[in-house]
């Protein structure tokens, strides 16, 4: 270990950063939907079993690898395993690089919609034109690229400041703010007339829906929700001291991540059912369905802004950890200083994200029937990350 290697300033700060890495857009726009689809509370029980039995074990393993090696994802496997094992670290590096390139595009959408909440979005949504607003936005290359670059500038600026002064300091503010916003939105949502139907859809256990597909969905959601298999937890673990008790830390991170996922359902389903709108998942739910809901609420502009701020914080804390994977590699293996690593790698990822920003609006050709963003997402989430998780488990 280098005596000059940065460390987390406090256990609380590390937990907030690790939880921020795990909590992302998927917690808010995907987990509630698949919970309702696959049996409500019955699915939650399976999901909890997955994150406790599998997810927590892999997270502890990643923390141990990073702390023992005191190095980046590639260097950790080189130092502790040798041979071909550094390839597993390279998979994490590649995931961090590629995922952030398109994740920052989507984070840019949430940033834009914070401002649109006080613009013409609510009026358009009230007329059933929220889909037109979203379509026009993603089809505008100037807006898409500008917000993407703005997000990368913010993320790079935080990582530039370092582990304690940048990442830890920001996450100690952002994560509590996320929970406050979440609770405010829950109170508003569950007190709407007709919210009970949404709560029933979300929570009523239906064990007949626990098919093999549901179990696979629980495994996939649990694994990916915790930011496993992409080098984030190894990288964050490398800045831990030798005295930190990792099982308790991992339990806390898993609890926080799972809490956000479950609580998000109390925001979404009571609201959409209260206004008789069919629930969905992903961008359609977030940028089309929910604006239509907010448009019908009293003080809809304020609650729309709060919701998209919540999403932006969730995206930002995950993006920070993804960039840190790449930056730590540059610091440890290329011997760059942090400033150079944050600026160069942040710029490179911003440039790689431009095709994703353009592809959603149809400005560049599709790849195997998918736009560039979806193709990058499929490659990393469906192929590289699962393989990385398996290899890490075997390695430990």
Give the pLDDT confidence of 166-176 residue by residue, as tens digits. 999 999 999 99
Please tell me the predicted confidence (pLDDT) of residue 41. 85
How is the chain split into domains, by residue range? Answer: 11-395
Helices and strands (H and E) in the chain: how many: 21, 0
pLDDT mean across residues, the chain: 89
121-126 contacts at long range (C-beta below 8 A, 24 or more positions apart): 121/291, 121/304, 122/291, 122/294, 122/295, 122/300, 122/301, 122/304, 123/295, 125/291, 125/292, 125/294, 125/295, 126/292, 126/295, 126/296
DSSP assignment letter at 82: -
Taking the C-alpha atoms of residue 15 and residue 19, their distance in angstroms, rounded to an integer, is 6
63, 144, 245, 247, 285 from 15: Cα distances, Å? 12, 32, 12, 12, 30
For residues 305 and 111, the answer to whether their CB atoms sit within 8 Å is no
> Closest Cα partner for 32 from 189, 228, 229, 250?
189
Q: Which fold has domain 11-395?
A: Hydantoin permease (1.10.4160)
pLDDT of res. 283: 77
pLDDT tens-digit series, residues 57-116: 889 999 999 999 999 999 999 999 878 899 999 988 998 899 999 999 999 999 999 999
Q: How many CB atoms lie within 10 A of CB 333?
A: 16
For residue 210, the model assigns a pLDDT of 86
Residue 111 CB: number of other CB atoms within 10 A?
23
CB-count burial class (<10 Å; 0-12, 13-18, 19+) for 379: middle
In this predicted structure, what is the pLDDT of residue 1? 45
What's the pLDDT at 376? 84
Closest by Cα among 185, 161, 195 to 17 = 161
Q: Return the closest-CA partner of residue 238 out of 178, 167, 173, 169.
A: 167
**CA pair distance 269, 202, nearest whole angstrom:** 7
Q: Cα separations (Å) of 348 from 153, 186, 343?
A: 12, 38, 9
Phi, psi of 106 (to 5 degrees): -70, -40
User: Which pLDDT score is estimated for 393?
Assistant: 75
pLDDT in the model for residue 3: 56
Low-confidence ranges of the chain (pLDDT < 70): 1-3, 280-282, 396
Alpha-carbon distance of 349 to 372, in angstroms, equals 15
Tokens (6 digits) for 256? 């926080």
């Amino acid at each position: 270990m280098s005596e000059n290697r940065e460390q987390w300033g406090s256990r609380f700060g590390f937990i907030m950063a690790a939880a921020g890495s795990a909590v992302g857009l998927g917690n808010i726009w995907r987990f509630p939907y698949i919970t309702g689809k696959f049996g409500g509370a019955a699915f939650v029980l399976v999901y909890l079993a997955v994150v406790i039995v599998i997810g927590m074990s892999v997270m502890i393993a990643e923390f141990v690898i990073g702390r023992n090696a005191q190095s980046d994802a590639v260097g950790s496997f080189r130092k502790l395993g040798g041979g071909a094992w550094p390839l597993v670290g390279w998979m994490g590096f590649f995931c961090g690089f590629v995922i952030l390139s398109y994740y920052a595009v989507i984070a840019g959408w949430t940033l834009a919609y914070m401002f649109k909440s006080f613009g013409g979005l609510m009026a358009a949504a009230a007329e059933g034109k929220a889909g037109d607003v979203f379509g026009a936005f993603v089809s505008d290359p100037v807006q898409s690229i500008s917000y993407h670059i703005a997000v990368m500038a913010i993320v790079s600026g935080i990582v530039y400041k370092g582990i304690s002064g940048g990442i830890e300091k920001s996450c100690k503010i952002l994560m509590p703010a996320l929970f406050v916003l979440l609770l405010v939105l829950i109170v508003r949502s569950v007190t709407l007339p007709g919210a009970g139907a949404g709560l029933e859809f979300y929570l009523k256990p239906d064990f007949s829906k626990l098919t093999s597909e549901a179990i696979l969905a629980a495994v996939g959601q649990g694994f990916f929700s915790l930011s496993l298999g992409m080098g984030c937890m190894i990288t964050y673990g490398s800045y831990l001291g030798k005295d930190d008790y990792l099982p308790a830390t991992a339990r806390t991170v898993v609890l926080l991540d799972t809490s956000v996922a479950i609580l998000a359902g109390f925001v979404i389903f009571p609201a959409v059912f209260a206004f008789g709108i069919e629930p969905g998942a992903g961008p359609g739910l977030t940028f089309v369905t929910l604006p239509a809901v907010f448009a019908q609420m009293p003080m809809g502009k304020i609650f729309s802004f709060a919701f998209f701020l919540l999403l932006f914080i969730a995206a930002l804390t995950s993006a920070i950890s993804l960039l840190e994977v790449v930056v730590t590699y540059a610091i440890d293996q290329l011997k760059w200083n942090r400033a150079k690593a944050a600026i160069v790698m942040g710029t490179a990822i911003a440039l790689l994200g431009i095709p994703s920003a353009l592809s959603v609006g149809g400005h560049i050709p599709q790849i195997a029937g998918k736009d560039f963003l979806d193709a990058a997402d499929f490659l990393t989430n469906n192929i590289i990350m699962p393989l990385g998780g398996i290899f890490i488990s075997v390695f430990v």
